[in-house]
Amino acid sequence: MTNHNQSKGKKKPTSDYDVGYARPPRHTQFQPGKSGNPKGRAKGTKNLKTDLAEELRELIPVRERGGRTRKLTKQRAMVKAILNKTLQGDTRSANIILSMMMRLIDTGADATEPQLPLNQDELQVLEDFVRRQTDTPDTDEKDKENES
């Protein structure tokens, strides 16, 4: 009967290093100081957000009404163009401007409006509430005992 655990024709390594799972032969391992991906990722590779931001920051010449040419960022030129179309009555441009305003500009809708002064009954209710919230459980029990 043959022993299946013994491998035929394979030599045992003569050195103290065993080759096996996750242990490649030493001569095929990466040499110190050398990468397994020598070319690597290109250093200039950018994502879409970065590319878009750079493009929108570029300056372009824009001719204004008086015939004067000014340099504006592409972003500023786009906003001006959409706003001018809105002022001419283009509803699609108006929707774009309004949605941008709602997302980006604080409209002050969150600000609280001035309140009317509280009457005596409302003040008493608030004072009672604050007193109950700030009292410790021990003082609540003492108050109940004093009331009885």
The alpha carbon of residue 69 and the mean position of all alpha carbons in its chain are separated, in whole angstroms, by: 37
Query: Looking at the whole model, is its pTM more than 0.75?
Result: no
Angstrom distances, CA of residue 142 to CA of 34, 51, 123, 127, 137: 78, 69, 24, 19, 9
The pLDDT, as a whole number, for residue 73 is: 96
Angstrom distances, CA of residue 31 to CA of 17, 18, 24, 27, 50: 16, 18, 13, 9, 36
Report phi then psi at 139, rounded to 5: -70, -30
AA identity, residue 3: N
* CA–CA distance, 79 with 85 (Å, rounded to integer): 10
pLDDT in tens, 81-99: 999 999 999 999 999 998 9
Report phi then psi at 91, rounded to 5: -70, -35
Bridge partners of 25?
Answer: none
* CA–CA distance, 93 with 84 (Å, rounded to integer): 9
pLDDT in tens, 28-60: 888 888 878 888 777 777 789 999 999 999 999
SS3 130: helix
Average pLDDT over residues 11-38: 80
